[in-house]
Chain A
Amino acid sequence: MAAGKGEIAADGDSDTLIEIVNQSSSSNLEILDLARYVSFVRDPAAGAIATFEGTTRDTFEGRRVIELRYEAYVPMAARRLSEACAAARSRWPLRRLAVAHRLGVVPVGDASVFIAASAVHRADAMDACRFIIDEIKASVPIWKKEVYADGEIWKENREFFERRPAMAAEQDKAPRCCGCGSKERVGIR
């Protein structure tokens, strides 16, 4: 179900850009175009643009990380990202949003995830960035394997385990959107 090599799974609407960027080949890494995402959210009505960039670390508990490999359940990840953006819009008055996550091999120091939000006032844009990265950590089906010189391990987000009881709950079978009930329409670009 992963997007093919070099494909970008894009989603969102005219004010929301969502991209899941797959690696095109081992010799041609697809980096996240951070400037393009910032440009996307630039808006004359906005007084602030806030961004969050998640980068890959070179050590974990003293072990040297050689590289990180990401994979995703791409259609569901795109859907969850759209829902996270809609939930952010229901909480804060935002102008434009861009969210991107990279898949495949991501070298140490590169951006694996990027969020940009514009709003009239800075607090709304900053709060929305934090909310969206927390939602990604908790509920967007993307996985990361850390590869060390002497082994490898699938990482597990603490936020996932905090959210897990709600994900598996027997009562509420409605599509879940962080509990916000947002009904934003999602278009496929």
Chain B
Amino acid sequence: MDNNTCEVPVDATRELNPESLIKIKVLFFARAREIMGLADMTLEVAPQSTAGDCLMTLLTKFPKLEEICNSMVLALNEEYAPKSSTLKNGDELAIIPPISGG
């Protein structure tokens, strides 16, 4: 998946059977937290969804996140992770805007 595109694929909003969804905790920090107006949320996605799928779902629901989607990275369960990472129930996915520690 191209890391430098924020285009939302048409299947990101496909209808899903609620029975089969897995729950992902999504964390927002810094500018991402301000855009969302919250620090975390639970997102229900289809089994075998990737971190990138999850990001696309977020961008569909919250288009203002596009502001940071070309500069951020993802962390899955406290480790930096590519968009192709497959999610499992209970995973913690963090939206990491450009860091500025030090």
Which secondary structure characterizes the binding site on chain B? loop
B39-A154 in contact (CB<8A): no
Distance from A78 Cβ to chain B, minimum over Cβ atoms (Å): 9
Given A75-B78, A167-B80, A173-B81, are A1 and B102 also a contact pair (CB < 8 Å)?
A: no
Bound together, the chains give a CA A175 to CA B81 distance in angstroms of: 9
A-B contact count (CB 8 A): 100
Q: Is B87 an interface residue (CB 8 A)?
A: no
**Chain A positions 154-188 with a Cβ under 8 Å from a chain B Cβ:** 154-157, 160-161, 164-165, 167-170, 173, 175-176
Does A42 make an interface contact (CB < 8 A)?
no
User: Shortest beta-carbon distance, B26 to chain A, in Å?
Assistant: 11
- B79:A175 contact, CB within 8 angstroms: yes
Q: Is A122 an interface residue (CB 8 A)?
A: no
Cross-interface CB contact of B80 among A70, A133, A139, A145, cutoff 8 Å: A139
| B96 contacts partner chain A, Cβ-Cβ < 8 Å | yes
Report chain B residues within 8 Å CB of A167.
73, 80
Give the interface centre of B1, B78, B83, B100 by most chain A CB atoms within 10 Å.
B100
Q: Does A140 contact B (CB under 8 A)?
A: yes
A95 proximal to B (CB < 8 A):
no
Residue of B nearest to A137 (CB): B102
A76 engages B75 (CB within 8 Å): yes
Pairwise interchain contact A142-B99, C-beta atoms closer than 8 A: yes
A47 contacts the other chain (CB 8 A): no
A71-B29, A143-B29 as given contacts; A160 in contact with B94, CB under 8 Å: no
Contact status B29-A156, CB under 8 Å: no
User: Which chain A residues border B75 with CB–CB below 8 Å?
Assistant: 73, 76, 141
Determine whether the beta carbon of A168 is less than 8 Å from that of B83: yes
Binary CB contact string for chain A from 66 to 99 against chain B (1 if under 8 A, 0 otherwise): 0000111101110100000000000000000000
Give the residues in chain B near A165, CB-CB below 8 Å. Answer: 3
Residue of A54, A145, A160 near B98 (CB, 8 A) is A160
Query: Could you tell me the distance between the alpha carbons of A161 and B3 in the complex, rounded to whole angstroms?
Result: 13
Q: Bound state CA distance, A133 and B82, in angstroms? A: 25
Binding site for B on A (CB under 8 A): 1, 54, 70-73, 75-77, 79, 101, 112-113, 133, 136-145, 154-157, 160-161, 164-165, 167-170, 173, 175-176
